[in-house]
Structure 1
Amino acid sequence: MKARGRLATLWSLLALLAVLCGPFGGPLRAAELQSLEIITQSGVLPFTVELMRTNEEREHGLMFRKELPEGRGMLFDFQPEQNVSMWMKNTLIPLDMIFIKADGRILRIAENTQVESEKIIPSGGPVRGVLEVIAGTAKKLGIKPGDRVAHPLFEAR
């Protein structure tokens, strides 16, 4: 009976450890939520985004998540402005990837990206950030290259 009790305690501790750690063994933390607006010809579109600044945050991104509500997104900071490539490995939700120059102008949009794909999705030129939103958002809201993104990450010019 004592051995069984110790085993149960061990399993309980392992379960607690699994809850306290993310999928790669790092601690879970709540991402900082920020406001972002996209200014289109038809108006201003508000979003709430999680900002990813570190290599570790950018590498993990939206991997393993099962949903992303409309009006929400993830903003990747690639300071300084540079050519970047993204992929959808271990990403379970189809996304639109919006590539944004340092001045806040949208350079390119990769719409409806394929889930769990290792296909490289290039920025098409130097960008400061990439905004990932649920697939179909760009088309539904009329977001196009040349539109402006308002967020402290981007310089207003």
Structure 2
Amino acid sequence: MPQTHSTLTRRSSPSMTTGIGITALFLTGIAMMALVVERQVMQEVVGQLATQDGRHELALEVARTSRQRRQGLMERPSLPANTGMLFTYDEQQPAQSRFWMFKTRFPIDIAFLDKRGRVLSMETMPPCTRQREDCPRYPAGVPFWMALELNAGAFDAMGVEVGDRLEVDL
């Protein structure tokens, strides 16, 4: 009987160790996949702002997920000329929706767009590196489907007005 017990112990011990190892590998794999999903790379697209002054090509990062939209342009030192971030939503956002500049280090212009890319309203927002509670929030003032952020002054330089249109394939 002691030999049987000893034999059973020896046989079950490697199996248990193997099972624990496989479980650990499985959980590590799931954790790594979660990190990949969490840090989804934003899609990059080329868009054109069609204005009375002409067409202005922009390199855009598209923030589609709530996590990407929350991160926005936070912590970046600057934004190269003719580049921006396009926030997209699966449903129309209410006029009370607000954007803020918490941890955003440079001023930006923001335009709120309808589903077809038509500019509905625009705002310039200064940087806010203060405490979270001290950063102002800027309401869209109109229901919107997308928001476009560029360097402050870019809309004026391109002659962008309400009614102009962003053309982009998403």
Q: TM-score, normalised by structure 2?
A: 0.70
Give the counterpart of 2:60 among 39, 43, 49: 49
What's the counterpart of residue 129 of structure 1? 146
> Is 2:126 the counterpart of 1:114?
yes
Q: How far apart are 1:104 and its partner, in Å?
A: 1.5
What's the counterpart of residue 165 of structure 2? 148
- Could you tell me how far apart the structure 2 residues matched to 1:108 and 1:40 are? 14
User: Which protein has the larger Cα radius of gyration, Structure 1 or Structure 2?
Assistant: 2
- Could you tell me how far apart the structure 2 residues matched to 1:146 and 1:130 are? 14
- Could you tell me how far apart the structure 1 residues matched to 2:120 and 2:76 are? 27
Aligned residue type for 1:115: P
- Could you tell me how far apart the structure 1 residues matched to 2:166 and 2:156 are? 16
Q: Which runs of 5+ in 1 are unaligned?
A: 1-25
Give the counterpart of 1:93 among 89, 106, 116: 106
Aligned residue type for 2:84: G
CA contact (8 A) 2:121 2:140 kept: yes
Q: How far apart are 1:152 and its partner, in Å?
A: 2.9
Give the counterpart of 2:84 among 48, 73, 81: 73
SS for the counterpart of 1:144 is coil
Aligned residue type for 1:114: P
For residues 50-105 of structure 1, the C-alpha deviation after alignment (integer angstroms, 9 at most, x for no partner) is 00011110000000000101100000012211222100011111100011111221
- Could you tell me how far apart the structure 2 residues matched to 1:92 and 1:29 are? 23
- Could you tell me how far apart the structure 2 residues matched to 1:72 and 1:41 are? 20
Aligned residue type for 2:167: A
What's the counterpart of residue 25 of structure 2? none
CA contact (8 A) 2:38 2:67 kept: no
- Could you tell me how far apart the structure 1 residues matched to 2:115 and 2:102 are? 26
- Higher helix content, 1 or 2: 2
Aligned residue type for 2:137: I
Q: Which runs of 5+ in 2 are unaligned?
A: 1-36, 129-133
